[in-house]
Structure 1
C-alpha cells in the first residue's frame, strides 16, 4: 500500500519532465500530491499538469506563477530542480564571463527568482516546503571538469541555508538535496562525451572520474527514484522539524564530515 501522506498538497517540480525531476514528480504524485511540472519544452507525454517556462527569463517565471495561482490557488511544495552543467571543463582560462553568468543564472538565480515570486503565498498560509536540488559538486569542485557549475551549486547551498533561517519562524521549511553521480540521460551523455574525448570506454571514463573524487564506496551510481524517495520524506509531515540542512545522496562518495 502506497503512503498517501501528501494528499491535498500542491507541488511544483521544475525541470520535472525527465531524469531526477520526473522521478520526483512521479513520487510526489504517488504520495497523493497534485503535481505541476515545468520545463522549457513540453514532453511527448506527461501525467502531470505541464507549464512551459524558461526560468532564466523573469517574464516567463511571472507567467508560470500567475498560471499556478489562477489554476491551483498557489502551492505547498516547491522543488527547484532546474539546473545543469552547461560550461566547458579545462579550468579558469577556458571560462569566459558569459560562461560564468550562464551557469549562475541557471543553477542559482533561477531558484532565487522562483522562490521570491512564490514565497509570499506560502508565508501568508504559514506553511510550505522548498527543496533546492544541488550537487555534491558544491562541496567538491573538480577544476578540470565543473568549476563554474560547482561554484554555482556552492552558492545555491549558501543561499538555501540563509533562506531557511529567514523563514524558520514563518512556517516555511527550506532544505537542500545534493545528489552525487546519478543515472540520468545527461549523466550518461557526459560520461560518453568525456570518454570519447579521452579515447577510452565510458566504463573507463567513469572509473577515472570517480578516482578524482575518491570513488563511490557503494560501487554504483544512484537511481533517480532513490533521490525522489529522499525528497518525498523531506517534504512530508515526518520531516516537520527539519530545515536548513543539506542532504547528500552520493553512496558515501563525499570525503568530508558534514
Structure 2
C-alpha cells in the first residue's frame, strides 16, 4: 500500500474495548482496546502516505454463536430465546434500540468506509451498537 500510495486498513474492534465485561471478556476486551490504540497510532503514521485507517467497533451482533449463547442463557434461566437475549442486553447495560445488530449492518458500514467515496475519513472509530455505549 505504501508503494502504491493508497489503500485502506479497516480494524474491527469492539465496544468491549471501552465497556468490558470483567466476569467474562477481560482478555478479549484488552485485545480489542489494544487494536483500537494501534489503529489510532498507525493512522497518524501512514495517512500522509495515502493509506487511510478506520476502526469499526461493533456491539452485540446477532451471529449464530451469539444466538446459541442466548439460547444457553435462556435454558439456564428457564426462559425463552427472547428472555435469553434480554439477559445479554441487561449484561451490556441495555441496548436502546432493543436488539443486536445484524452482521450485514456491520458489513454495510465497512463497505461505506472502504471505497474512495469515504476518501477523507481516516483515524476515526465508528461504533455500531444500537446505542449501548453511552454518549455525552
**1:143–1:202 Cα change, 3 Å:** farther
Q: Deviation string for 1:203-242 (max 9, x for gaps)?
A: 2222122123221111211111111111111012121111
Looking at CA atoms only, which structure, 1 or 2, has the larger radius of gyration? 1
Q: Which residue of 2 aligns with 1:143?
A: 22
Q: Which residue of 1 aligns with 2:93?
A: 214
Q: Which residue of 2 aligns with 1:100?
A: none
Q: Equivalents in 2 of 1:203, 1:145: separation in Å?
A: 21
Q: Secondary structure at the match of 2:9?
A: strand
- How many residues were matched structurally? 136
Q: CA RMSD in A?
A: 1.6
Residue 198 of structure 1 and its aligned partner are, at CA, apart by 4.5
Residue 159 of structure 1 and its aligned partner are, at CA, apart by 0.8
Q: Equivalents in 1 of 2:54, 2:94: separation in Å?
A: 26
Q: Does 1:179 align with 2:58?
A: yes
Residue 197 of structure 1 and its aligned partner are, at CA, apart by 4.3
**Normalization by structure 2: what TM-score?**
0.90
Q: Does 1:232 align with 2:111?
A: yes
Q: Secondary structure at the match of 2:45?
A: helix
Residue 139 of structure 1 and its aligned partner are, at CA, apart by 1.0
Q: Deviation string for 1:52-98 (max 9, x for gaps)?
A: xxxxxxxxxxxxxxxxxxxxxxxxxxxxxxxxxxxxxxxxxxxxxxx
Q: Runs of 5+ in structure 1 lacking a partner?
A: 1-121
Q: Runs of 5+ in structure 2 lacking a partner?
A: none
Q: Equivalents in 1 of 2:113, 2:14: separation in Å?
A: 17
**Normalization by structure 1: what TM-score?**
0.50
Greater RCO (CA < 8 Å, at least 6 residues apart): 2
